[in-house]
Amino acid sequence: MIRIAEKQDLEHIDTIYSQAITDGFHTAHTEPFSSQERLEWFQKYSEDDYPLFVYEKNNKVIGWISVSPYRKGRSALNETVEISFYVDFNFHGKGIGTELVQHCLDQAEKIKKRVFLAIIIEGNDGSIKLLKKLGFEQWGFLPDVIHFRNQLRGQIYMGKVIQ
């Protein structure tokens, strides 16, 4: 079941995100968030325009997706958002990421958003494949901007316009 995230979900959200940090090359963060940082992050989301959704199974959050402003404060970009999605590693390959991204796209009219972007680290083939399956295309590439574990990787900008 996909629903709006609640404050009590933050521990599960953090656990899932920490998996991505530890595994590497799924996020540009290299250190887990403190509980205060995570709370401040959570408080920036709003069901009406920038929602944060969780995927819950058997009363446990096993995935999440955030809809964030792209270049906040620039009014001409108000219809453009960045999505970020993460699924508990124990549940990869089960369609949960696809359901989360599709759910966000289905909310486009409600949240008054038209352009969806995802910024993926080069080599994250699972996320790239998922986004392509849902109609995203590669719109940009920034080579060698990620420096992590003595490796350089690029960022891939994938986008989709909702008509």
In this prediction the pTM is 0.95
Measured distance CA(63)–CA(61) in Å, rounded: 6
41 in Cβ contact with 59 (< 8 Å): no
Please state whether beta strands 60-69 and 52-57 pair in parallel, antiparallel, or not at all (unpaired).
antiparallel
Q: Options 2.170.190.11, 3.30.390.30, 3.20.20.100, 3.40.630.30; which CATH number does 2-161 get?
A: 3.40.630.30
pLDDT tens-place string over residues 2-19: 999 999 999 999 999 999
Task: Give dist(CA 130, CA 122) in Å, integer.
Answer: 14
Query: What does the pLDDT look like over 83-114, one tens digit per residue?
Result: 999 999 999 999 999 999 999 999 999 999 99
- Rounded CA Rg of the chain: 15
Cα–Cα distance, 80 to 161 (Å, whole number): 9
Identify the bridge partners of residue 42 per DSSP, sorted by sequence position. none
d(CA 39, CA 7): 8
**To which residue do tokens 């995203």 refer?**
136
Instruction: Say what the pLDDT of residue 31 is.
Output: 86
Q: Compute the distance between CA of residue 40 and CA of residue 25 in angstroms, rounded to an integer.
A: 24
**More confident: 90 or 28:** 90
Q: Is 142 strand, coil or helix?
A: strand
